[in-house]
């Protein structure tokens, strides 16, 4: 499954079919429903009554908040990535975070559709929150003097990326091949 999700996302990115848009069309906070729109070839649409579902699935409230913030970050990343050179490590790291966020939504959709959503959402919340924290940290440091070593915290995210079926080593190779298909550039 991991190669399938990563390959589908990277292929959409390479084809220019991965548009800069929100994946959540109704956030379940300012609207009654929580709706994740379909991303063709990656995940199906899912929509649920957020108020009613929160009563039956207690972790859903936290899930909705994390998902909304991840979605905002993936949109922001998508909008700023073109301003970076292909050789800029920041661009490659931004894409890494965006791909992981999209993969996290694929796992979230599957989890919301499962019979065991409570346990699944508790796990999703744990890993998605780690992804959100590191993405926020990286994005907030862009263009500042405090910009840290771009791969310094990858070990912290390795388990998270595996949970979302996009192993870090595979993701690095896929992103490298996307930007440097005929290169022997080290990863």
Q: Measured in whole angstroms, how far is the alpha carbon of residue 59 from the centre of its chain?
A: 19
What distance in Å separates the CA atoms of residue 20 and residue 153, rounded to the nearest whole number?
A: 26
At 17 the pLDDT is 87
Task: Point out which residues pair with 43 in neighbouring strands.
Answer: 39
pTM above 0.85, yes or no: yes
Q: Give the tens place of pLDDT for each residue, 68-116.
A: 999 999 999 999 999 999 888 899 999 999 999 999 999 999 999 998 8
**More confidently predicted of 60 and 147:** 60
pLDDT tier, 1 (very low <50, low <70, confident <90, very high otherwise): very low
DSSP three-state, residue 47: strand
Q: Which residues of 9-27 are buried (b: 16+ CB within 10 A; e: fewer)?
A: bbebbeeeebeeeebbebb
The percent of residues above 70 in pLDDT, for the chain, comes to 91
3-state secondary structure 14-32: HHCCCCCCCCEEEECCCCC
Q: Would you say the C-alpha torsion 170, 180, 104, 143 has a positive or negative sign?
A: positive
pLDDT tier, 147 (very low <50, low <70, confident <90, very high otherwise): low
* Best CA proximity match to 35, nearest among 109, 116, 140: 109
Nearest-10 Cα torsion for 91, 94, 99, 103: 170
What distance in Å separates the CA atoms of residue 51 and residue 32, rounded to the nearest whole number?
A: 7
């Amino acid at each position: 499954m991991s190669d399938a999700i990563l390959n589908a996302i990277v292929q959409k990115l390479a084809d220019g079919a991965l548009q800069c848009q929100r994946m959540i069309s109704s956030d379940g906070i300012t609207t009654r429903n929580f709706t994740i729109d379909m991303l063709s070839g990656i995940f199906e649409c899912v929509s649920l009554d957020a108020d009613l579902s929160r009563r039956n699935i207690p972790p859903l409230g936290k899930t909705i908040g994390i998902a909304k913030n991840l979605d905002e970050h993936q949109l922001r990343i998508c909008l700023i990535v073109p301003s970076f050179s292909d050789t800029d490590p920041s661009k490659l790291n931004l894409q890494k975070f965006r791909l992981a966020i999209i993969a996290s939504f694929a796992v979230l959709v599957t989890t919301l559709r499962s019979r065991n959503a409570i346990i699944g959402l508790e796990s999703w919340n744990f890993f998605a929150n780690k992804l959100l924290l590191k993405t926020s940290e990286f994005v907030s440091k862009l263009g500042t003097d405090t910009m840290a070593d771009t791969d310094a915290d990858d070990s912290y995210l390795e388990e998270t990326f595996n949970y979302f079926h996009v192993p870090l080593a595979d993701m690095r190779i896929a992103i490298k091949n996307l930007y440097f298909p005929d290169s022997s550039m080290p990863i």
